[in-house]
Chains A and B, each alone.
Chain A
Amino acid sequence: MRGLLVLSVLLGAVLGKEDFSGHQVLRLSTADAAQVEKVKELEDLEHLQLDFWRGPAQPGSPIDVRVPFRSIQAVKIFLEAHGIGYTTMIEDVQALLDEEQEQMFAFQARARSSDTFNYATYHTLEEIYGFMDMLVAEHPQLVSKLQIGNSYEGRPIYVLKFSTGGENRPAIWIDTGIHSREWVTQASGVWFAKKITQDYGQDSTLTAILDSMDILLEIVTNPDGFAFTHSKNRMWRKTRSLTAGSSCVGVDPNRNWDAGFGMAGASSNPCSETYHGKFANSEVEVKSIVDFVKNHGNIKAFISIHSYSQLLLYPYGYKAEAAPDRDELDQLAKSAVTALASLYGTKFKYGSIIKAIYQASGSTIDWTYSQGIKYSFTFELRDTGRYGFLLPASQIVPTAQETWLALRTIMEHTLQHPY
């Protein structure tokens, strides 16, 4: 009821440009019929410009009245003189209206800057792409946007490059959202992007990293899948490519890389969630990265981010044999998960893909490792199954914050151990 009245006042204010500064809304309590009569007398005094929201009726029924600033004193003296009790429901009507208007418009407004962007909620593809442009515009010296290709359905695929200069410096690659339903990862990617711009020049570790190396961040690695999780099926994992001879859609982009391609640990059934595709790099989303990595030639760490399970993984996924750098990778993983746990106590396990999670062939980091990128890691972020893919938005920022500590550990190690 009150909301409706306030709304009409608001409309009045907007249309008639009235100002309600200092106006108060009083709730009067009348003890008997005589007092009710007195209030009716008050109502008749036009010069007071009183606006009764709930008019005088029976004794005992509350009476609500908006009193303009210049009439307040007179009205209160009158009420007190006649022993009519009152309380102040609204101290300042204009202040309330301003606040409500703000809330109404804020709900629909797009963020004006990366400072007003809401990191604690999930966003659409358009919003994330808009965010990227904002960040680049705000930090043109540090951030640039590269288009590395187009998705199957024709959406641009972007990578943010964080660089303080140099020519083809050694770089660290981070990707999120390769499996579209893992929403906490794209959301974390957005947070990481902002974090990098905040911490350069503030955090000595990150500053040292960016002074010698570049960071490449692909936030929406599977844009078609991501759009599909918003429009049709929140649980969609794969790309959206059509497979000739099948009514099923999509290839698992984390089984499509050229490392043990097609071997045990992926499916040859196009209807399966782990379908590897007709041949390695059949998916443009994967091929775009492959081409980029080969052309760049100087990537030193490659981190691919998934959810859920709370794991930090290194090669191999397609075979049980230990990777040549196993000991170093294991040590580094241990330090990284320790750093991660330091913030909120979130426990991560770590190990090779095949041991810690399951056999998986054609996976991203098996390929990047085979290309000589020693520090190749896959994360599986929160949680361990309670919410799974549908991680509540309230956990986005804590997840991103703790994961960042692990990323920083890996990046710092990469900086300190050039090869």
Chain B
Amino acid sequence: ARSKPHFFNFRAGSPSALRVLAAVLEGRATVNPKKGCQVDLVFTTDHYNPEVGEEHLGKCSARVFFRNQKPRPAINVTCTRLIEKNKRQEEDYLLYKHMKQLKTPLDVTSIPDSHGHIDPSLKPIWDLAFLGSSYVMWEKTTQFLHYYMAQISSVNQWKTNDDTIDFDYTVLLHEFSTQEIIPCRIHLGWYPGKPLKVKYHCQELQTPEEASGTEEGSAVAPTELNNF
């Protein structure tokens, strides 16, 4: 169920409308040893950044298909009762304006810091990074591997080219079943309302004998922004 919000967040492409899994209401898994595993779910989601007084629970139903051991599950998800499109666009635009005003180069290392603190002025950076990471996490998710975004370990570049925010950062993903921390270099381009462009490269686990093997992962976002 945790991969659904990653996929959903990426598809929505909106840092101000991020969702997290609240509760799974119903679930059913069908395993076909030759083909893979299909999971049908009904679940609720909560605002990633909850606001006081606001109604927050959205309800979603989804079908996820994992091809045997392969990542990048096929996901079909529909949700109801979410943030209104206009409001979301407005908030995205405000976020965008705020980001454009940030002084570059950004004088920042880890977000959050070791004590879990994120300076309020840096929160939009976190949200945008989370959006990009959602894509990466969805692409890497399998029926056995699932991810959380642990920390932005460095911000390599933050600039605006022709109005698009060009964000190059390194994120640490935490994979739960192996407990591994995986550094991923992510490069994203964002403009409110336009589809997110993501390129990334994650470091893979060192083999017992010597240094790291690396995996190239690179993808450009699908171009349609659907209405939910």
Contact = CB atoms under 8 A, between A and B. Distances in A.
Interface of A: 121-122, 183, 229-230, 234-235, 237, 246-248, 252, 267-274, 358, 385-393, 395
A358 B177 contact: yes
B123 to A, nearest CB: 13
B115 A272 contact: no
Contacts of B209: 246
A385 B2 contact: yes
B117 interface: yes
Interface string B179-194: 1110000000000000
B53 interface: no
Given A269-B207, A271-B208, 11 more contacts: A235-B181, A246-B208, A247-B210, A271-B206, A272-B180, A273-B181, A274-B178, A358-B176, A387-B112, A390-B112, A390-B113
Contacts of A229: 114
B179 A388 contact: no
B93 interface: no
A235 B116 CA distance: 12
Interface of B: 2, 20, 48, 110, 112-117, 148, 150-151, 172, 174, 176-181, 205-211
Q: Which of A247, A274, A385, A391 has the most CB of B within 10 A?
A: A385
B199 to A, nearest CB: 24
Given A235-B172, A273-B179, A273-B180, A393 B116 contact: yes
Given A237-B179, A385-B2, A389-B150, A122 B114 contact: yes
Contact of A272 (B48, B114, B205): B205
Nearest to B114: A234
Contacts of A122: 114-115
Contacts of B115: 121-122, 390, 392-393
B178 A271 contact: no
A246 B174 CA distance: 23
Contacts of A271: 205-208
B116 A391 contact: yes
B114 A385 contact: no
Nearest to A359: B177
A271 B178 CA distance: 12
A398 B52 CA distance: 20
A390 B151 contact: yes
B174 A388 contact: yes
Nearest to A273: B179
A386 B210 CA distance: 33
B205 A392 contact: no
Contacts of A252: 179
A180 to B, nearest CB: 12
A64 B46 CA distance: 52
A216 to B, nearest CB: 27
Nearest to A181: B181
Given A269-B208, A271-B206, A271-B208, A390 B178 contact: no
A219 B112 CA distance: 25
B28 to A, nearest CB: 18
Given A390-B114, A390-B150, A393-B115, A270 B208 contact: yes
A37 B6 CA distance: 70
A319 to B, nearest CB: 17
Q: Which of B179, B205, B207 has the most CB of A within 10 A?
A: B179
Nearest to B116: A392
A230 B2 CA distance: 30
Contacts of B205: 269, 271-272
A63 B150 CA distance: 52
Given A235-B172, A271-B205, A272-B205, A388 B148 contact: yes
Given A248-B206, A389-B150, A273 B178 contact: yes
Contacts of B112: 387, 390, 392
B190 to A, nearest CB: 22
A267 B179 CA distance: 11
Closest CB pairs A-B (n = 8): A392-B116, A271-B206, A273-B179, A390-B116, A385-B148, A235-B181, A234-B114, A393-B115
15 contacts: A229-B114, A235-B181, A248-B206, A269-B205, A271-B205, A272-B178, A272-B205, A358-B176, A385-B2, A388-B174, A389-B174, A390-B115, A392-B112, A393-B117, A395-B116
Nearest to B210: A247
Contacts of A248: 206, 208
Nearest to A274: B179
A237 B179 CA distance: 9
A322 to B, nearest CB: 22
B135 to A, nearest CB: 17
Nearest to A237: B179
Contacts of A183: 114
Contacts of B177: 358
Contacts of A386: 20, 48
A415 B101 CA distance: 61
B163 to A, nearest CB: 31
A186 B172 CA distance: 23
Contacts of A389: 150, 174
Contacts of B179: 237, 252, 273-274
Nearest to B177: A358
A303 B185 CA distance: 39
Contacts of A234: 110, 114, 151
A112 B112 CA distance: 30
B104 to A, nearest CB: 25
